[in-house]
Amino acid sequence: MRPTLRPLAAEFLGTFLFVFVGCGAVVLNTAQNGILGVGGIAFAHALAFAIAVTMTMNISGGHINPAVTFGIWVAGRIDARKATMYVVSQLAAAVLAALVVRWAYPTGAGVAASFGVPRLSPDISLAKAIALEAALTLFLVSAVFGTAVSGHAPRVGGFAIGLTLLPAVLVAGPLTGAALNPARAFGPALVSMDWHGHIVYWLGPLLGAAVAALLWGKVLLPLPGDPEP
């Protein structure tokens, strides 16, 4: 029982931390008239994700994202049953995190920000938003394969993975919210019942994760017996 529970608990804790900080930063920014700005929100997401991945990496692999779990499954590095349990744990943690944000932060700002739901700009189409989320998730999942999955990777913990969110939010936050993570979108969407454009935050990240998994699994990851670079 405990060997099964440990990675699920780790994924729950890590995802809770990430979604709580991410949603909290968005609501605080709304409550304080943009005090954080895009840069502050990007930094909050990146740092929280880096810490969450680092502290859970040796227990669960530090997925903290259904898209990462999906990519690892596509690459054959996790079985379907375990992957499903990871995703359920991640989504449950995201919902709880959004509920805590709703309880802890000013109600007016929370409602105005839909408790941290990533939002689509009217300046971007649905198709372009999906493509943007997919492209950025490809880079995020590539960071996972390049620093956590590859046996030849430098041991840098989860910080290289987490820091991929910093440029992602800076370049796409105002357009799509730069979720790159279905759980990050699902938790606050369920709590606020704001589902506008929600399909973007599943199709985009899952597509990007699948492409990354195939690229790394078929081309970039070394095969057993390959020499060190």
Which CATH architecture fits 2-219?
Answer: Up-down Bundle (1.20)
pLDDT digits (tens, 9 = 90+) for 191-212: 999 999 999 999 999 999 999 9
Task: Identify which of 229, 223, 2, 184 has the alpha carbon closest to the alpha carbon of residue 93.
Answer: 184
The yes-or-no verdict on residue 223 having pLDDT over 50 is: no
Q: How far apart are the first and last CA of the chain?
A: 40
Where along the chain do its domains lie? 2-219
Q: What is the pLDDT of residue 38?
A: 96
| C-alpha dihedral sign at 139, 52, 24, 189 | positive
Asked if 83 and 73 touch (Cβ cutoff 8 Å), the reply is yes
The pTM assigned to this predicted structure is 0.93
Please give the Cα distance from 16 to 213 (Å, whole number): 25
pLDDT digits (tens, 9 = 90+) for 81-122: 999 999 999 999 999 999 999 999 999 999 999 999 999 999
pLDDT digits (tens, 9 = 90+) for 39-57: 999 999 999 999 999 999 9
